[in-house]
Amino acid sequence: MKFFRSLVLLLSKGHGLVLFIFLLAAGLGLRQLSMKGKELVVEGAVSSVYYPAQSVLSLTNRIRSLSYENDSLKKENARLRMERDNLREGQEELVRLRELVHFDNVWNYPIVTARIIGRNPGRFLTTFIVNRGSDHGIQVNMPVFTVQGLVGRISSVSKRHAKVQLLLDPALKLSVMAQRTRVVGFLEGGSGNALMAMIPSYMGVKVGDTLVTSGLGGIFPKGIVIGTVRDLRKGDVDVVTHLEVAPFQEFTRLEELFIMEKEPDWIVRELLENDSIH
């Protein structure tokens, strides 16, 4: 192989006569060789000519093989990441569902577990869409809550879905009670992470007191926790104090919730039709 490379180098610097003499000598030399020797010489010459092309082809095939292997590893890595993320999500969901399953239903009403599948697209979060409807026994005005406390009420129903009106919606008026002093007031919606309520003044309500549903109004049973008083300020009239309430719920992080299969009390249905207090 080295011989033929040297030969090519020599011929590139010589003249036609040198080439003629070399070829003549090579031809005479080949005639003197045995058949086996001739085959070796021809094989060496062919190998010298095709060796660069073979090297390039081999390198190309190796690069293709490495590229295919790299793509396969990337796909496998992506698949394993997806499985890991799904497993983690499943574990977190299992923790939440265990909390719901172990909920102590002190009100003795049937409970339906629902999943949030949509939220209102507006600037302020006021409604959820859940994956339960009339086919599951859900009706308008049924209370909605979690183990942390009250969420809102069912405001409309289709066969397989329902809309939940949240406590954050200013249109939802709710009768509440200070758990410590037992004084009754009204929740009147809110925004972000704060609810607003009104309560009679001079009744001893303080920052840190817990508000619960009063049971008045016919929709919500008595005693569902709502939040704690974060701030107080006097109203336009001395007999009313405005409360800023920190809800127990983190509405933007809710995923699963309870629907209480409780129909409104018959004595307040007529009032509900006129958008009175819930």
pLDDT value of position 244: 94
Q: Scanning the structure block, which residue is given the tokens 């405005």? A: 242
Residue 150 scores a pLDDT above 80: yes
Q: How confident is the model at residue 202 (pLDDT cuts 50, 70, 90)?
A: confident
pLDDT value of position 125: 87
Alpha-carbon distance 189 to 172, whole Å?
A: 6
pLDDT value of position 165: 95
Lowest mean pLDDT among 24-33, 254-263, 264-273: 24-33
* Averaged pLDDT, 27-51: 54
pLDDT over 70, % of the chain: 65
* Averaged pLDDT, 34-41: 54
pLDDT value of position 238: 76
Alpha-carbon distance 151 to 248, whole Å?
A: 9
Residue 273 scores a pLDDT above 70: no
Q: pLDDT tens across 219-236, in order?
A: 999 999 999 999 998 877
pLDDT value of position 67: 76
Which domains can be identified in the chain, with CATH numbers?
A: 110-278 (2.40.10.340)
* CA-to-CA separations, 260 to 118, 151, 244, 257, 270, in angstroms, rounded: 20, 11, 27, 10, 21
pLDDT value of position 129: 96
Residue 149 scores a pLDDT above 80: yes
Bridge partner residues of 30 (DSSP): none
